[in-house]
């Protein structure tokens, strides 16, 4: 997908006429005008928080091979020489075959998909190499500039990492973090961001007044020709925008909330900084017992860290694991500012959200189930989405209510829409997935926020996981049969069934997530469930959870099932 942006000048830190510093953000001129201008009450605290957000932006923990450029050049020359020989011989043989078989036609569609996959693989490899050698040029090739939203009570910045596995949102309270602002214009826009701007953040000092400004001057300068006017087209990678929207929809789902003290967060980050796992498993295991302080165990070392803050007030649960924990090091710079940290958990192998509270500021760090399983790559998160579709009338009503009031809690939204809790939850989930709303996990309200100027649909977001689409088709055709289902001693459920005439075994956890499975298809034979379950396992799971295929009572069943899972 191509996204057009236009900026007047560059975001930068400059000196004002009265000697104060002016931190000016250049907004996207292709969006509605957004304006904000207020003094930072705590510039040093803002400097550390925005720098941590920068760590999320540049976060890319994918495997980085050693630089063997000279060897690769020699290999390339050898491949070119061999390829020339092979191509010549291939063309000769191809002409002979085509002369004998004129009915053969090239498979253009298969060629297209093969070449597109190769292009993105090379592009990712080039991006990682460029990030090491030329950070400034690499930053210009980043997927999308950060999004800033000016609301009635807060100003917040959002970003999504290059590897599609981490989401960051820095929220500043208008009253306590910023001074009075003149000429407010509420709304959302992209802001110009460069590596030089990050260097400017490091110049913020407490002895100089610094104003945070989302500058609307560029909108008027379009007619006068003043300053530098730039227009850019950003070619977003496949799945990047879908992953960003999956973050938003995941934030609307019921979650378990675990509060960690600052010393527990410090102990986790200190251990990760000093140790690097050489073997599996490399998970962070949450152990939650009724009335006991939460405990976090770092695998594979089995290092147990107990939070000495609030006790867990829910029932005793099966351990919950999350992977890719080295991404938590993005929070290290915030440790002197953090009062407490709350972790919102969806379940084992599912996304988690870490809310670092810093008085007048909060940083929400969203992590996918594990680093290489980005938000758009797996199908586990798709399975938690509501079944069926939301009626257009209710979706429009919710849009009108949020546009008018800008931020509302769930109960008031449900009352305004005059619908059941399940229908309200499904509507908000759809709004979030289309980029029109965001759930503020800390404040407990839903805010109107447009990632792009228009609602996002299948054209912009790209296709769903083909395995999930195929699973729905199998259930629609009634090709799924459950032979037996057995509850285990640790709260899981073992299922045996037949899907499309083939035997399938499946084990589900308390949240309905796939813990293990057996299938005879090629997809499962190649990767098991590491890259998401195959269509046959997904189809058996859909039937086991009684996921309705019609809209009647489907959202209520979905919502009640999620609530029951997170209350147990």
Predicted confidence (pLDDT) per residue in 160-180, tens digit: 887 778 899 999 998 888 888
| Rounded distance between C-alpha atoms, residue 230 and residue 228, angstroms | 6
Of the two residues 376 and 54, the one the predictor is more confident about is 54
Q: Which residues contact 379 (CB under 8 A, 6 or more apart)?
A: 465, 467, 468, 532, 533, 538
Tokens of 117: 């996959």
User: What distance lies between CA 116 and its chain's CA centroid?
Assistant: 23
State the distance between the two ends of the chain, measured CA to CA, in whole angstroms. 42
Residues above pLDDT 70, as percent of the chain: 80
The structure tokens 């400034």 sit at 136
What does the pLDDT look like over 347-388, one tens digit per residue?
877 889 999 999 999 999 999 876 665 555 544 566 566 766
Q: What is the pLDDT of residue 179?
A: 81
Which residue from 390, 426, 418, 419 is spatially nearest to 561, judged by alpha carbons? 426
What does the pLDDT look like over 446-460, one tens digit per residue?
999 988 877 877 666
Instruction: Identify the bridge partners of residue 150 per DSSP, sorted by sequence position.
Output: 155, 187
Q: What is the pLDDT of residue 352?
A: 92
Q: Please, where in the chain does CATH 1.10.10.10 lie?
A: 392-461
Q: What is the phi/psi pair of residue 214, to 5°?
A: -95, 105
When mean pLDDT is compared across 214-223, 321-330, 443-452, the lowest value belongs to 214-223
Distances (CA, A) of 169 to 259, 362, 458: 19, 8, 25
CA dihedral 531, 535, 538, 542 (to 10 degrees): 150
Counted residue by residue, the chain has a size of 568
Mean pLDDT of 127-144: 63
* Phi-psi sector, 496: left (phi>0), alpha (psi -120 to 50), beta: beta
Give the CATH class of 2-60+141-237.
alpha beta
Q: What is the pLDDT of residue 547?
A: 44
When mean pLDDT is compared across 283-287, 303-307, 419-423, 559-563, the lowest value belongs to 559-563
Identify whether the C-beta of residue 243 lies closer than 8 Å to the C-beta of residue 369: no
Of the pLDDT bands very low, low, confident and very high (cuts 50, 70, 90), residue 498 is very high
Burial 207-237 (b: 16+ CB within 10 A, else e): eebbbbbbbbbbbebeeeeeeeeeeeebebb
Q: What angle do CA 409, 450, 149 make, to 5 degrees?
A: 75
Q: What is the pLDDT of residue 530?
A: 62
Of the two residues 67 and 45, the one the predictor is more confident about is 45
Q: What is the pLDDT of residue 400?
A: 94
CATH code for residues 392-461:
1.10.10.10
Q: Which helix (H) or strand (E) holds 24?
A: strand 21-25
When mean pLDDT is compared across 246-255, 264-273, 290-299, 455-464, the lowest value belongs to 455-464
pLDDT score of 271 more than 50: yes
| Rounded distance between C-alpha atoms, residue 79 and residue 73, angstroms | 10
Q: What angle do CA 16, 20, 26 make, to 5 degrees?
A: 55
Instruction: Identify the bridge partners of residue 187 per DSSP, sorted by sequence position.
Output: 150
What does the pLDDT look like over 92-101, one tens digit per residue?
877 787 777 7
Instruction: Identify the bridge partners of residue 253 per DSSP, sorted by sequence position.
Output: none
Mean pLDDT of 335-345: 93
Of the pLDDT bands very low, low, confident and very high (cuts 50, 70, 90), residue 196 is low
Question: Is 245-384 a CATH 3.10.150.10 domain?
Answer: yes
Q: Which helix (H) or strand (E) holds 295?
A: strand 295-298
Half-sphere exposure of 51 (CA within 13 A, CB side): 18
pLDDT score of 469 more than 90: no
pLDDT score of 319 more than 70: yes
Mean pLDDT of 149-157: 91
User: What distance lies between CA 101 and its chain's CA centroid?
Assistant: 50
| Rounded distance between C-alpha atoms, residue 493 and residue 485, angstroms | 7
Identify whether the C-beta of residue 333 lies closer than 8 Å to the C-beta of residue 48: yes
Q: Please, where in the chain does CATH 3.10.150.10 lie?
A: 245-384
What does the pLDDT look like over 2-39, one tens digit per residue?
778 888 888 888 887 777 888 888 888 888 888 888 88
| Rounded distance between C-alpha atoms, residue 44 and residue 361, angstroms | 12
Q: What is the pLDDT of residue 76?
A: 84
Peptide bond into 102 cis (omega under 30): no
């Amino acid at each position: 997908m191509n996204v057009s942006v236009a900026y007047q000048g560059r975001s930068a830190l400059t000196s004002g006429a009265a000697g104060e510093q002016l931190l000016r953000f250049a907004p996207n001129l292709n969006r509605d005008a957004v304006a904000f201008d207020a003094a930072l009450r705590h510039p040093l605290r803002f400097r550390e928080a925005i720098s941590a957000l920068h760590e999320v932006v540049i976060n890319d923990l994918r495997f980085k091979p050693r630089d063997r450029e000279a060897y690769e050049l020699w290999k390339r020359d050898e491949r070119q020489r061999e390829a020339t020989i092979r191509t010549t011989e291939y063309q000769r043989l191809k002409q002979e075959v085509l002369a004998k078989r004129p009915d053969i036609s090239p498979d253009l569609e298969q060629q297209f998909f093969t070449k597109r996959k190769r292009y993105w693989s090379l592009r990712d490899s080039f991006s990682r190499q460029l990030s090491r050698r030329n950070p400034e040029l690499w930053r210009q090739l980043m997927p999308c500039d950060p999004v800033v939203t000016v609301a009635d009570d807060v100003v917040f910045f959002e970003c999504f990492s290059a590897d599609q596995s981490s989401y960051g949102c820095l929220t500043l309270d208008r009253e306590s973090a910023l001074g009075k602002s003149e000429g407010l214009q509420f709304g959302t826009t992209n802001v110009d961001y460069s590596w030089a701007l990050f260097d400017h953040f490091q110049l913020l000092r407490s002895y100089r007044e610094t104003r945070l400004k989302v500058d609307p001057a560029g909108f008027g300068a379009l007619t006068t020709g003043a300053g530098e006017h730039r227009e850019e087209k950003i070619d977003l990678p496949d799945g990047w925008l879908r992953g960003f929207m999956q973050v938003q929809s995941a934030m609307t789902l019921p979650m378990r909330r675990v509060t960690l003290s600052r010393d527990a967060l410090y102990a986790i980050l200190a251990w990760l900084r000093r140790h690097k796992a050489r073997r599996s498993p490399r998970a962070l295991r949450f152990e939650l017992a009724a009335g006991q302080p939460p405990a976090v165990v770092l695998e594979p070392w089995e290092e147990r860290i107990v939070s000495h803050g609030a006790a867990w007030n829910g029932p005793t649960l099966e351990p919950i694991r999350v992977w890719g924990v080295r991404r938590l090091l993005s929070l290290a710079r915030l440790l002197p500012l953090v009062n407490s940290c709350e972790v919102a958990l969806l379940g084992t192998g599912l996304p988690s959200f870490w809310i670092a509270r810093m008085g007048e500021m909060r940083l929400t760090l969203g992590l996918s189930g594990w680093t290489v399983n980005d938000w758009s790559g797996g199908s586990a998160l798709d399975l938690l989405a509501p079944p069926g579709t939301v009626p257009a009338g209710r979706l429009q009503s919710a849009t009108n209510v949020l546009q008018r009031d800008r931020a509302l809690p769930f109960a008031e939204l449900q009352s305004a829409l005059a619908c059941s809790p399940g229908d309200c939850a499904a509507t908000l989930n759809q709004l979030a997935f289309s980029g029109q709303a965001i759930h503020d996990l800390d404040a407990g309200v839903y805010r109107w926020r447009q990632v792009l100027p228009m609602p996002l649909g299948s054209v912009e977001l790209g296709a769903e996981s083909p395995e999930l689409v195929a699973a729905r088709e199998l259930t629609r055709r009634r090709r799924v049969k459950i032979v037996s289902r057995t509850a285990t001693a640790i709260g899981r459920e073992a299922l045996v069934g037949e899907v499309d005439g083939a035997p399938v075994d499946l084990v589900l956890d308390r949240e309905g997530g796939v813990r293990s499975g057996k299938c005879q298809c090629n997809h499962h034979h190649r990767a098991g469930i590491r890259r998401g379950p195959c269509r046959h396992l997904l189809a058996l799971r859909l039937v086991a959870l009684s996921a309705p295929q019609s809209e009647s009572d489907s959202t209520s069943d979905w919502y009640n099932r999620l609530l029951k899972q997170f209350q147990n």
